[in-house]
Amino acid sequence: MADKIKLFVNGVEVEVESGKNLIDAIGAVGIEIPHLCYHPALGADGNCRMCLVGIEDGRPPLVPACKTPAQEGMKVLLDAEHIKKIQHDVLEFELINHPIDCPVCDQAGECKLQDYYMSYDQADSRMTVPQVTKGKKMDFGGGVVHDQERCVLCGRCVRFCREITNTGELGIINRTDAARVNFFPGRPLSNRYALNVVDLCPVGAMTSSDFRFKQRVWFMKKALGICHGCSKGCNITIDHNREKYKDDVIYRYRPVFNEQVNGYFMCDEGRLSYKNENEGRLLEARLSGKGRSIKDVLAACTKEIERADKIVIVLSPNCSLEQMVTVKALSEKLGASLSGYSEGYLKKGDGDDYLIQDDKAANRAGLVLLGIDCSKDGFETAVQESSLLINFNNDLILSSKDSDLKKLLKETKIVALATHDNQCTGMADMAIPVASYSEYTGTVINCDNILQRFGKAITKNEDLADICEIACQLGSPLQSDEQRFSELQQIISALGEFEPDKIPAEGLNLNDSEAANVTA
């Protein structure tokens, strides 16, 4: 825990963390110092001068807050006339050549320039000479579209490519009113984190070709979630909107800061994986390929379970811990073999030394923690000995060739509980649609043994059942959320201290607990 210091803001004493600059220290107690070029992940560049404040200790009348460390007893002035004047002047300077196209700008509603104009200025333009025109709708590569006229030359995007991805595609060329951001000739943005420049850009100069003109940001609801694109488990907001008479639709994922997981960023593939939550979903239950009610299909499953001599159950490595314990309890009750076979979710060599992992599953560590066998041999032997396979959303086709799988399952009846309509549901005798991770509450453990809980973000017109509910209807004894959580508390001692909704937002690091041996 960082040390606390006391300082004065406009004569009022506040307690802040030491070791931070004034923007972050004072910002943490709810007092915003306007700034454009500073970002905590990129450090202080000091180029925009929006953050000028006064310090009453004999130093020059104005200092940049981004470059000034908070100190004990410091007297910071934010509301003096000369500070207001400088904010007004810097803002006017930024807006001299700005196109003021807020009505058609994707950033409207989330734009720092717009916010500061509304809070600090609201003055009419005094310009009588024609504005400088620059490039519009420029394809910067990586799904990023750039508008040079909206750019305030804060340099965040340039520094991101230099300091975070080390790819250096962007630079600021020319000087004065001819200065503009551009990529080096023939080298557009091509790194796997490029879309982070859209979040970093404090104005609407960097937009995402995927999100452009799809939604006004003030119509969307924002819910916290965990990306399930790989085992990193980056923290995200799920921005979604349920228009009248329509179903809830996700429009974008954006990263949420979590120091011990993803910092401020996320990868582009994970960011765009929101589309999988909207598209290709299995929406109807099927019996022998024909649409039937879920009740009918469940009744047919129950009969097959009663009839089967031996059953094999396979779980997805994307299932939550709650789903895993519920299905494990079902398998024990039915005397079934339980497998987490999912080697196809591992893309060897695809990960990097930053966020992206080889393992494209969100909770393989959960399978390991629960002692569920994930071997190919174990799965194949269990299938050969069984007459019924119940598949809890494991996309087996990723792990085995279509022809091999068909051969292996030739004599086996298949029940597929699936979020998506895929080859596995096509092969199934009984298929039941289930909720995907944006539609239920659950817990996962990431590749660094950090346990994270996420909530239900999306409510559909007709909500699909969580895997836990279906497992209970098939006979799992863990019938309630409380029973499932208490079962997890038996296994993960670190959970013993918490109520489910009190698990810290930054996650629980299991490395310090007895579950330290969990490896993905």
Exposed e or buried b per residue across 308-326, where buried means at least 16 C-beta atoms within 10 angstroms of its C-beta: beebbbbbbbbbbbbbbbb
Contacting residue, 51, 236, 327, 382, with ligand FES by CB under 6 A: 51
Stretch that binds ligand FES, among 45-53, 191-199, 280-288, 404-412 (CB under 6 A): 45-53
Residue with tokens 């990097």: 352
When asked if residue 170 is in the footprint of ligand FES (CB under 6 A), the reply is no
Contacting residue, 54, 64, 204, 229, with ligand FES by CB under 6 A: 64
When asked if residue 91 is in the footprint of ligand SF4 (CB under 6 A), the reply is no
Query: DSSP character for 133?
Result: P
- The option from ligand SF4, ligand FES, none interacting with 38 (CB < 5 to 8 A, set by class) reads ligand FES
Nearest distance in Å: CB 446, ligand SF4: 8
- Kindly tell me which of 236 and 367 has the beta carbon lying closer to ligand SF4: 236
Checking DSSP bridges between strand 311-315 and strand 337-339, what pairing results, if any? parallel
When asked if residue 150 is in the footprint of ligand FES (CB under 6 A), the reply is no
When asked if residue 50 is in the footprint of ligand FES (CB under 6 A), the reply is yes
When asked if residue 37 is in the footprint of ligand FES (CB under 6 A), the reply is yes
- The option from ligand SF4, ligand FES, none interacting with 383 (CB < 5 to 8 A, set by class) reads none
Task: Please count the CA atoms within 13 angstroms of the CA of 213 that sit on its side-chain side.
Answer: 4
Q: How far apart are CA 298 and CA 454, in angstroms?
A: 28
- Kindly tell me which of 155 and 433 has the beta carbon lying closer to ligand SF4: 155
Q: Closest Cα to residue 375, out of 311, 446, 314?
A: 314
- The option from ligand SF4, ligand FES, none interacting with 142 (CB < 5 to 8 A, set by class) reads none
Cα radius of gyration rounded to whole Å, the chain: 27
Nearest distance in Å: CB 50, ligand FES: 5
Task: Please count the CA atoms within 13 angstroms of the CA of 224 that sit on its side-chain side.
Answer: 14
Exposed/middle/buried for residue 250 (C-beta within 10 Å: 0-12, 13-18, 19+): buried
CA distances to 230, 372, 418, 460 from 375, in Å: 20, 9, 21, 36
Task: Please count the CA atoms within 13 angstroms of the CA of 335 that sit on its side-chain side.
Answer: 7
Contacting residue, 26, 91, 220, 230, with ligand SF4 by CB under 6 A: 230
- Kindly tell me which of 102 and 153 has the beta carbon lying closer to ligand SF4: 153
Query: DSSP character for 447?
Result: T
- Kindly tell me which of 40 and 168 has the beta carbon lying closer to ligand FES: 40
Contacting residue, 110, 269, 284, 448, with ligand SF4 by CB under 6 A: 269
Nearest distance in Å: CB 113, ligand FES: 13
Nearest distance in Å: CB 38, ligand FES: 4
Stretch that binds ligand SF4, among 226-234, 238-246, 405-413, 488-496 (CB under 6 A): 226-234
Nearest distance in Å: CB 23, ligand SF4: 16
- The option from ligand SF4, ligand FES, none interacting with 205 (CB < 5 to 8 A, set by class) reads ligand SF4
Stretch that binds ligand SF4, among 71-79, 122-130, 280-288, 349-357 (CB under 6 A): 349-357
Q: How far apart are CA 401 and CA 219, in angstroms?
A: 44
Exposed/middle/buried for residue 237 (C-beta within 10 Å: 0-12, 13-18, 19+): middle
Q: How far apart are CA 449 and CA 508, in angstroms?
A: 8
Nearest distance in Å: CB 156, ligand FES: 10
When asked if residue 38 is in the footprint of ligand FES (CB under 6 A), the reply is yes
Nearest distance in Å: CB 33, ligand FES: 8
When asked if residue 154 is in the footprint of ligand SF4 (CB under 6 A), the reply is yes
Nearest distance in Å: CB 159, ligand FES: 12
Q: What share of the chain is helix, strand, coil (3-state, %, to 5)?
A: 30, 20, 45
Exposed/middle/buried for residue 151 (C-beta within 10 Å: 0-12, 13-18, 19+): buried
Contacting residue, 42, 91, 164, 205, with ligand SF4 by CB under 6 A: 205
* H helix intervals, 391-480: 402-408, 423-427, 467-473
Contacting residue, 155, 225, 317, 442, with ligand SF4 by CB under 6 A: 155
Nearest distance in Å: CB 57, ligand FES: 19
Contacting residue, 7, 66, 330, 444, with ligand FES by CB under 6 A: 66
When asked if residue 46 is in the footprint of ligand FES (CB under 6 A), the reply is yes
Element (H, E) at 333: helix 321-334
- DSSP letter string, 360-392: --S-HHHHHHTT-B--HHHHHHHHHT-SEEEEE
- The option from ligand FES, ligand SF4, none interacting with 266 (CB < 5 to 8 A, set by class) reads ligand SF4
Tokens of 497: 């201290």
- DSSP letter string, 9-61: ETTEEEEEETTSBHHHHHHTTT-PPP-SS-BTTTB----S-TTEEEESSSS-S
- Residues forming the site for ligand FES (CB under 6 A): 35-38, 46-51, 64, 66
- Residues forming the site for ligand SF4 (CB under 6 A): 151-157, 181, 200-201, 203, 205-206, 227, 229-230, 232-234, 262, 266-267, 269-270, 355-357
